[in-house]
A and B are shown apart, each in its own frame.
Chain A
Amino acid sequence: QKEVEQDPGPLSVPEGAIVSLNCTYSNSAFQYFMWYRQYSRKGPELLMYTYSSGNKEDGRFTAQVDKSSKYISLFIRDSQPSDSATYLCAMSGRAGNMLTFGGGTRLMVKP
């Protein structure tokens, strides 16, 4: 079993929909949680960074962390075709240390 599990998708939604992306993990030492967006053949781009449990909002994006359930989520409001990409969750036990990634969820937002 992988340390971080993520549904690979693809997830297809109409433009304007609310998107929910999720990851589960098994290592209780993880304290820092990130979401990256990766366009085809590009490097990952940091979207959200959260420490420990709680919610964080940035524009159309909201990240949630539930450490008791070992479950993290990313919500995208008013999704746009430009949001079509692969979304990677990542986590670490100490800031700046190695990141453990999920396998990524491919999202397609249709006009």
Chain B
Amino acid sequence: ETGVTQSPTHLIKTRGQQVTLRCSSQSGHNTVSWYQQALGQGPQFIFQYYREEENGRGNFPPRFSGLQFPNYSSELNVNALELDDSALYLCASSSGTIGETQYFGPGTRLLVL
């Protein structure tokens, strides 16, 4: 059974550019959540996808958008990058059943210059 994987591991972009981050969920999991973790802080919830539909969103602007595919992998897209978007972006998957929790991938470290 493979765990949650994310790509790329590191990324450097300039302000105003767009970025796409990818996540493959753990086998058997149909729910993917994305979190942003700034340096020295706890992760903050961006949004969650359940069976290809958005299933909850945190306090992030519309330039943060996502997709979930039929195989339950997911993308996070960020448009018009700002310096404050520099962070570790974490993907977590879960089965969505009662009593199950979320398992995190290693993250993608994004630096916006």
Contact = CB atoms under 8 A, between A and B. Distances in A.
Interface of A: 4, 6, 8, 32, 34, 36, 41-46, 49, 51, 88, 90, 95-104
15 contacts: A36-B104, A41-B109, A43-B90, A43-B105, A43-B106, A46-B101, A95-B98, A95-B99, A96-B96, A96-B100, A96-B102, A98-B48, A98-B58, A99-B45, A101-B43
Contact of A98 (B56, B106, B109): B56
A69 to B, nearest CB: 21
A98 B60 CA distance: 14
B65 interface: no
A88 B40 CA distance: 11
Contact of A43 (B44, B96, B100, B107): B107
Nearest to B6: A43
Nearest to B43: A101
B31 A6 contact: no
Question: Which secondary structure characterizes the binding site on chain B?
Answer: loop
B94 interface: yes
A44 B97 contact: no
Contact of A102 (B33, B42, B58, B88): B42
Interface string B67-100: 0000000000000000000001010101111111
